[in-house]
Chains A and B, each alone.
Chain A
Amino acid sequence: MRISPTKFISLLFLVLSVFYLYTAYNIQVFAFDENAPFNARTFPIYLGWAGIILSSLKIILPEKLTTEVNHKHLDYKSIIYLILISLIYAAVILKIGYFISTSLFLFASYYFLGERRWGLMFILSFPFVAAFMYLLHGLLNIYLRDPFLKYIGVMG
């Protein structure tokens, strides 16, 4: 038996709702609040039940409008590269600072998306980020934490 992707997502949502409801029932409330008409558990419990009912209906009821996705037309390779670069960017941004990590992120993203005009790639990464940082930090006075630039004395 083949389960449609929509029903599979609904099944995942059902599992999430059951887990959410279980966690909601286990929220620790103050002793005097335990039997109150409304406490920190009430709303999440309603939501958990709503999620279970809606996802069950979606699973049980027949699908009239099916969403067809042709997987041959999906570019899995580029999206995986892009997500990986984003994750690495998030992991290093605090360690090597905003300027270098962001510039490298942009440069790498252009490259993995198929761009090979090196001069343009460079301009739209390092000088572009520097100009953006100047706009935020220098002109709009929005604090932008960058330990590296602070260390080399570019930022105060």
Chain B
Amino acid sequence: MIEGILIGLSTALSLTNILMVMVGCFAGTIIGMLPGLGPMTAIALMIPITYGFDPSTGLILMAGVYYGAVFGGSTSSILLNAPGIPGTVATAFDGYPMAQQGKAGKALAIAAYSSFAGGTISAIFLLVAAPSLSKVSLAFRSPDYFALMILGLTAISAFSSKGQFLKAMMMVVLGLMLATVGQDSLSDITRFTFNNMNLTDGISFVLIVMATFAMSEALTIIFRGKDPNRAAKQISLTELGSIKVNKEETIKMAKTIPRSSILGFLIGVLPGAGATIASFLAYGMERNYVNEEEKQKFGKGSVHGLSAPETANNAACSGSFVPLLTLGIPGSGTTAVMLGALLGFGIQPGPRLYQTNPEIFWSVIMSMYIGMVVLLILNLPLIPYIARILAVPRNYLIPLILFFSVTGIYLMSFNNFDIFLMIGIAVVATFLRLYDFPMPPLILAFVLGGLMEETLRRSLLISDGSPNFLWDRPITLIILLITITIVGWQIFSTFRKKN
């Protein structure tokens, strides 16, 4: 492991890669700060820029963007009560009241220190857990992988659907349907192309991500422009206050950070769960841990209430890389985008990545930590200046997002059919979002579609067409039982709400 860490450090600490982490953190912070734009959009917008890079550098840039976007989301939560991403909604509960009391600078500093500490602790967990899990996951066979993908898709539907499980499952099926367009990987038979040559190679992953996130986010912002609940708020940038944290506040943070880190990391590892659930659970857990006097301060600017979700959401970000790097199966929408980018570089994540491309495996892990340091020492002092980005009018912001989306697709194919297709998918996605049909399950399903068909093919061929493969192996059976439990719980909670 020491050797791996050194390989990772030597790659991550090259001049180019340090520059990429800094650029990534900075760009991610700016994009994540803009309400409505989250890490998925930020990473998607970076994909065209990484075309000319080597895989390690490209991934390091994206990891930086990921952390930057999460931190940026916290900034808009604290300053505007307008979370940039769902994972920072809980941050606003105590961060915004603190900002209203004239302590915005302090709230941002607490958020940054908590994120850093949560990220540091979870990066250590990742260092220990990832190689061990890689070895364990070598025992996985096709039926286990198939069951695991079913579990991941069910879990993300359960967690991201705001109680509308069926809608999320429909999005999963739609994502899988889109993934079947083009040539069948084994027989080369074309499917669902309707004799259109442009569809023979299938629909590009970048196109789907750009359409369902970047472009449809931009269209949604314009579409809901007249909604008074979504009207842009203004912040006085001269009233941020000091960023110094006193001794009493430091002690409070020191108590909160370890427990929130552990909780956040464990939740991040679970397929489907992510920063959002981790931050809410950490907030709830912290409220139960503190004494009665502190409990009364929750929702009114509590240090515990701000530190807990910030620590947990960053810890969950690191945790979500565990299934991606060790099993090759992303557990969240954001890591699904990262998987798409990895596949674009010709790298198949999974248990063998640790052996075949150790420099990528370790440099991504190490660059995450470097990203944390960069966020703390570079972004925190610059916050008063970076926060000015919140004043950028949407009249400029939206066309620029559309411009980056179209450029990303144009650079890939030099073909206007793909641009038309992207606009069409973006329009459909905008209407689906309007009625709370979640997009992360669609993305995850689209990314996993090919692999899922492949593992199902192998499983069925080995079992000669019999469904026995679903219960022949204990691992498969256990994973499927967990999936059934999640579905059962969704049905139960639906009936409970009804009654």
CA distance A61 to B112 in the complex (A): 45
Q: Mark A39-71, 1 if CB is under 8 A from B, else 0.
A: 110111001001100110110011011010110
- The residue that B166 contacts in the complex, of A57, A105, A129, with Cβ under 8 A, is A57
A55 CB to closest chain B CB (Å) equals: 6
Contact A13:B166 (CB < 8 A) given known A43-B456, A93-B419, A142-B52: no
Interface hits, A1-42 → B, CB 8 Å: 5-6, 9-10, 13, 17, 20, 23-24, 27-30, 33, 36-40, 42
Residues from chain A with a CB closer than 8 A to the CB of B432 are 9
Contact A79:B173 (CB < 8 A) given known A61-B166, A73-B224, A86-B406: no
Q: Is A94 an interface residue (CB 8 A)?
A: yes
CA distance A8 to B406 in the complex (A): 30
Contact A109 B435 (CB under 8 A): no
Q: Mark B328-371, 1 if CB is under 8 A from A, else 0.
A: 00000000000000000000000000000000000000000000
Residues from chain B with a CB closer than 8 A to the CB of A120 are 396
Contact B180 A106 (CB under 8 A): no
Contact A113:B177 (CB < 8 A) given known A87-B420, A142-B51: no
Contact A115 B395 (CB under 8 A): yes
Residues from chain B with a CB closer than 8 A to the CB of A28 are 189
Contact A9:B460 (CB < 8 A) given known A29-B187, A82-B222: no
Contact B177 A47 (CB under 8 A): yes
CA distance A27 to B432 in the complex (A): 29
Q: Is A114 an interface residue (CB 8 A)?
A: yes
Query: Other CB < 8 Å A-B pairs besides A79-B222, A82-B398, 7 of them?
Result: A27-B189, A37-B464, A42-B456, A57-B166, A70-B227, A94-B414, A120-B396
Q: Mark A112-128, 1 if CB is under 8 A from B, else 0.
A: 01110000100010000
Question: Which chain A residue has the least Cβ–Cβ distance from B176?
Answer: A47
A138 CB to closest chain B CB (Å) equals: 12
Q: Is B192 an interface residue (CB 8 A)?
A: yes
B67 CB to closest chain A CB (Å) equals: 23
How many residues on chain B are close to A (CB under 8 Å)? 68
A76 CB to closest chain B CB (Å) equals: 8
B interface: dominant SS: helix
CA distance A89 to B432 in the complex (A): 24
A87 CB to closest chain B CB (Å) equals: 6
Residues from chain A with a CB closer than 8 A to the CB of B99 are none
- The residue that A50 contacts in the complex, of B49, B173, B189, with Cβ under 8 A, is B173
Contact B403 A98 (CB under 8 A): no
Q: Is A130 an interface residue (CB 8 A)?
A: no
CA distance A30 to B188 in the complex (A): 10
- The residue that B189 contacts in the complex, of A29, A43, A61, A109, with Cβ under 8 A, is A29
Residues from chain B with a CB closer than 8 A to the CB of A144 are 411
Contact A38:B465 (CB < 8 A) given known A44-B191, A47-B180: yes
Q: Mark B352-392, 1 if CB is under 8 A from A, else 0.
A: 00000000000000000000000000000000000000000
Residues from chain B with a CB closer than 8 A to the CB of A5 are 435
Contact A65 B163 (CB under 8 A): yes
Question: Which chain B residue has the least Cβ–Cβ distance from A144?
Answer: B411
Contact A9:B395 (CB < 8 A) given known A38-B465, A58-B167: no
Residues from chain A with a CB closer than 8 A to the CB of B427 are 83
Q: Is A74 an interface residue (CB 8 A)?
A: yes
Residues from chain A with a CB closer than 8 A to the CB of B51 are 142
A63 CB to closest chain B CB (Å) equals: 9
- The residue that B395 contacts in the complex, of A58, A72, A75, A110, with Cβ under 8 A, is A110
Residues from chain A with a CB closer than 8 A to the CB of B403 are 102, 105-106, 129
CA distance A102 to B437 in the complex (A): 32
Q: Is B410 an interface residue (CB 8 A)?
A: yes
Q: Is B132 an interface residue (CB 8 A)?
A: no
Contact A42:B177 (CB < 8 A) given known A105-B403, A140-B52: no
Contact B416 A93 (CB under 8 A): yes
- The residue that B494 contacts in the complex, of A20, A64, A113, A115, with Cβ under 8 A, is A64
Question: Which chain A residue has the least Cβ–Cβ distance from B399?
Answer: A109
CA distance A5 to B218 in the complex (A): 22
Q: Mark B428-449, 1 if CB is under 8 A from A, else 0.
A: 0011101111000000000000
Interface hits, B199-244 → A, CB 8 Å: 219, 222-228
Contact B460 A38 (CB under 8 A): yes
B209 CB to closest chain A CB (Å) equals: 17
B392 CB to closest chain A CB (Å) equals: 11
Q: Is A90 an interface residue (CB 8 A)?
A: yes
Q: Is A145 an interface residue (CB 8 A)?
A: yes
In the complex, which of the residues B167, B437, B498 has the most CB atoms of chain A within 10 Å of its own CB atom?
B167
Question: Which chain A residue has the least Cβ–Cβ distance from B494?
Answer: A64
B86 CB to closest chain A CB (Å) equals: 17
Residues from chain B with a CB closer than 8 A to the CB of A64 are 494, 497-498
CA distance A29 to B457 in the complex (A): 15
Q: Is B62 an interface residue (CB 8 A)?
A: no
Question: Which chain B residue has the least Cβ–Cβ distance from A116?
Answer: B395
A52 CB to closest chain B CB (Å) equals: 9
B191 CB to closest chain A CB (Å) equals: 5
CA distance A39 to B186 in the complex (A): 9
Question: Which chain A residue has the least Cβ–Cβ distance from B459?
Answer: A38
CA distance A61 to B177 in the complex (A): 24
Interface hits, B28-79 → A, CB 8 Å: 48-49, 51-52
CA distance A94 to B415 in the complex (A): 8
Contact B414 A6 (CB under 8 A): no
Q: Is B170 an interface residue (CB 8 A)?
A: yes
